[in-house]
Amino acid sequence: MTKVINPSVFKAEWRKLRRPTLFLGTMLASAGLTGLVTSLLFLLIDSPQGNSDRGNMISRDVLQLPSGLTIGFSNAAGLLGIVALCVFAAQTAQEYTYGTLRNLLVRQPRRIRLLLGKYVSMASFAIVMVILAAFISMSIAFALSGKAKVVTDAWITSDALQEVAKTFGNVLLSVIAFGTVGMILGLLLRSPISAISLGVIWLLIVENILIAVKSSLGKWMPGNLMSTIAVGGTDKISYIHSVSFVAIYLLVGAAIVATLFKRRDVSN
């Protein structure tokens, strides 16, 4: 395994990921977004305009369930995914725009190893991001439960712990899937701005327009499916369907970009 996923590549990539502006900036953004979504969930609990995604109402009764502790966290998954997409796309495509890919390939000529090492290190970065987001979200949930008159007895049971573990896994899977899309776009377009723009415009705008026009398309749209994974499936789209199709999309995309990356001349 260490032959395929080279520890040197992993460590070298982390030297770039841990630079303060990137690391702290990303972590602050993730914490801020998750904190905002969770805060609104509790602070707008009695608002007639709703307290959740797209004006949905999540009642006090639902929040008092063992799963209530993590609703804010899972609701923020889409935004965390967009952050991951930006980080993965920028970290990959910048190697082309800075011309640093040639340096990397001279020091690690096994291209797939380089790619996998970068991917695994960015995935580990996403894990840190999701852990922090989960901690912030649950802390805020406890802190605001009193003000929102939400009884938290069910949040400190073994069922709640299971819900936390399940939601954490689903959100992490979703965030890494978003990040993978970012990396695929970064490798295809070789420009951070193009990759991030295309990814964000597609996931936040185009998909929503398509789904608004024809709701059945939601079952096939990658962004919608990745968000569905984060919440563990919905009434309309099952968890298994989401995971299966996201896996197919990502595997096909990864196979294409890995082939291109392995064979393409590095001439910039």
Partner 1 sequence: MVGFLIAPGIFTHLLSVRGRAIVVGMSNLAVAVQDLSKKYGDMFAVSHANFEVPMGTVCGFVGPNGSGKTTTIRMLLGLISPTGGTGEILGHSIKHPERYLSSVGAMIEGPAFYPALTGKENLNVLATLGGYGTDHVQSLLERVGLGDRGGSKYKTYSLGMKQRLGIAASLLPNPKLLILDEPTNGLDPEGIQEIRDLLKSLAQEGTTVFVSSHLLSELELISQHLVMLRKGKVLFAGKIEDLFLAQQPFILVKTPNEIDLIKIQEIAVAAGHKSTIRSGVAHIEGPADWAAELNKAAFAAGITLSQLSPMLPSLEETFFEMTGDSE
Q: Judged by CB under 8 A, does residue 135 bind partner 1?
A: no
Range in contact with partner 1 (rule: CB under 8 A) among 13-21, 67-75, 207-215, 240-248: 13-21
Q: Judged by CB under 8 A, does residue 98 bind partner 1?
A: yes
Range in contact with partner 1 (rule: CB under 8 A) among 53-61, 160-168, 223-231, 258-266: 258-266
User: DSSP secondary structure string, 103-172?
Assistant: HHHHH---HHHHHHHHHHHHHHHHHHHHHHHHHHHHHHHHHHHTTTT---GGGGSHHHHHHHHHHHHHHH
In the chain, the largest separation of any two C-alpha atoms, in whole Å, equals 62
Q: Judged by CB under 8 A, does residue 266 bind partner 1?
A: yes
CA dist 155 and 259 (Å) reads 47
Contact pattern from residue 31 through residue 70 relative to partner 1, giving x for each residue in contact according to CB under 8 A and a dash for the rest: ----------------------------------------
Q: Judged by CB under 8 A, does residue 11 bind partner 1?
A: yes
Nearer to partner 1, 58 or 183 (CB): 183
Residue spans of alpha helices (H) in the chain? 7-17, 20-43, 60-63, 71-75, 77-97, 101-107, 111-145, 158-189, 192-200, 207-213, 222-230, 239-263
Nearer to partner 1, 11 or 147 (CB): 11
In the complex, minimum distance from the CB of residue 11 to partner 1, in angstroms, rounded to a whole number: 5
Beta carbons of 115 and 121 less than 8 angstroms apart:
no
CA dist 143 and 258 (Å) reads 46
In the complex, minimum distance from the CB of residue 27 to partner 1, in angstroms, rounded to a whole number: 16
In the complex, minimum distance from the CB of residue 266 to partner 1, in angstroms, rounded to a whole number: 4
Range in contact with partner 1 (rule: CB under 8 A) among 57-65, 99-107, 124-132, 237-245: 99-107
Nearer to partner 1, 7 or 32 (CB): 7
- From residue 263, how far is each of 9, 71, 111, 142, 198 by CA, in Å? 20, 44, 9, 52, 24
Q: Judged by CB under 8 A, does residue 15 bind partner 1?
A: yes
Q: Judged by CB under 8 A, does residue 147 bind partner 1?
A: no
Nearer to partner 1, 54 or 263 (CB): 263
Q: Which residues contact 211 (CB under 8 A, 6 or more apart)?
A: 217, 218, 221, 224
Residues that bind partner 1 (CB under 8 A): 8-9, 11-12, 15-16, 19, 21-22, 94, 98-100, 102-110, 263, 265-267
